[in-house]
Structure 1
């Protein structure tokens, strides 16, 4: 489904703060609170909005170290196999198949450097992994959680 401009504005408002009231969003987009609620309910029913969540600073939970791991896998390793293996690691925040030489890029949060190293060793030890290449994040510079569309300026 493709969102119209009004739905995009509602979704952007919710992406900025999912706890905003329908009345507050309505005032921003020019609709009544009940009209916003009906649109949000429809967007949820159609699958455009998949849920509401909270964003927590990983450091507040003890995850002080962040890194990215490029995974290079044996031939015939499916994305499903990679996803299945990585889903067992609570330290894996995200994983994606990618273009380029690597087969997947994995974002990891760990409590410290030793913890990151142990997770990296376990991932490298998966039967389908040929090698890994990792980088550690020194300082996150920009993280976006908005819901802009490709033709909407950020």
Structure 2
């Protein structure tokens, strides 16, 4: 794909705020026809800039009101590929990041209550992955959401 320009960035911003926005509506905001907007979106998808369209769910409405971050240090003898497979398929895990520093991974998960955190950690220990961990429970999230460039020319 060619380098993205100002119009591409505006289209991305508009879609990130509301992916159901009509092509005509977007076109009106960027001075393009709906077919030109559709073509630009197609190119952004093909280039991998737009990876998917999804639904923004309310975790509280789904009973997962507690957002938790867990720093994980793997055991020296842990099977790292097995760990990656485990976290990729765990229903509570939203994100897992391989990180630098004193920890091996940072995991973000949503749970219904604190006993779910204890069960999660016990399960990782039972799989012989965990050397040590540190758990951080989120009190609130003043800024949260998908990646959106805040400044668009």
* Bucket of the pairwise TM-score, normalised by the shorter protein: 0.7 to 0.9
1:90-111, Cα deviation, whole Å (9 max, x unpaired)? 0011110112211110011111
SS in 2 for 1:59: coil
Q: Matches of 2:77 and 2:32 in 1, distance apart?
A: 52
Matches for 1:29-48 after TM superposition, within 5 Å: 29-48=30-49
In the alignment, structure 1 segments of 5+ residues that lack a partner are none
Distance 1:43 1:153 in 2: 16
Q: Using the alignment, how far apart are the partners of 1:146 and 1:28 within structure 2?
A: 21
Does the residue aligned with 2:94 lie in a helix, a strand or coil?
strand
How far the C-alpha of 1:59 sits from its partner, in A, is 0.9
TM value normalised by structure 2: 0.87
- Offset at 1:79? 6.0
Q: Within 5 A, what are the aligned runs for 1:74-89?
A: 74-75=75-76, 80-89=81-90
For 1:153 and 1:144, locate their aligned partners in 2 and report how far apart those are by CA, in whole Å.
17
After superposition, the C-alpha distances for 1:3-62 in whole angstroms (9 at most, x for unaligned) are: 222211111110111000011111111211111011111211222211101111111111
Q: Structure 1 residues 153 and 33, CA, compared in 2 at 3 Å: closer, same or farther?
A: closer
Structure 2 CA distance for partners of 1:76 and 1:35, relative to 1, 3 Å = farther
* Moved >3 Å (runs of 4+): 75-82
Q: Name the CA distance, whole Å, in 2 between partners of 1:77 and 1:153.
A: 44
Q: Report the CA distance shift for 1:36/1:76 in structure 2 as closer, same or farther (over 3 A).
A: farther
Matches within 5 A, 1:1-154: 2-75=3-76, 80-148=81-149, 152=151
Greater mean deviation of Cα atoms: 90-99 or 122-131: 122-131
Whether the 8 Å CA contact 1:98–1:104 is kept in 2: the answer is: yes
Q: Distance in 2 between matches of 1:153 and 1:12?
A: 7
